[in-house]
Amino acid sequence: MTFGAGGNVGGDRVHGRWPGLAPSAPAYGDLAITTDYRDVLAEILTRCPRSPNIGAVFPGHTPRPVGVVR
């Protein structure tokens, strides 16, 4: 689980989907991974004044919007 804080963080909500903890869940007893950390980091990096080339930072990955940054 990751927490974000700051003026541009889209707060008041949980980002991602809830996989549940039911016995039939794939990661029973633990939370399943539902968000690729590269998507979150790419979203933050693209908001920086000197945005890096995301393709160079995460080769072969196409970031999906997460909605963490406003």
- pLDDT tens digit string along 14-70? 666 777 777 776 666 677 778 888 998 998 888 888 888 999 999 999 999 888 777
Half-sphere exposure of 11 (CA within 13 A, CB side): 7
Task: Quote the CA–CA distance of 30 and 10 in Å, as a whole number.
Answer: 26
Domain ranges for the chain: 36-70
Tell whether the model's pLDDT for residue 2 goes beyond 60: no
Task: Quote the CA–CA distance of 58 and 33 in Å, as a whole number.
Answer: 19
The residues pairing with 9 across neighbouring beta strands, listed in sequence order, are 69
Instruction: Look at the pTM and tell me if it is higher than 0.85.
Output: no
SS (H, E, C) 11-59: CCCCCCCCCCCCCCCCCCCCCCCCCCHHHHHHHHHCCCCCCCCHHHHCC
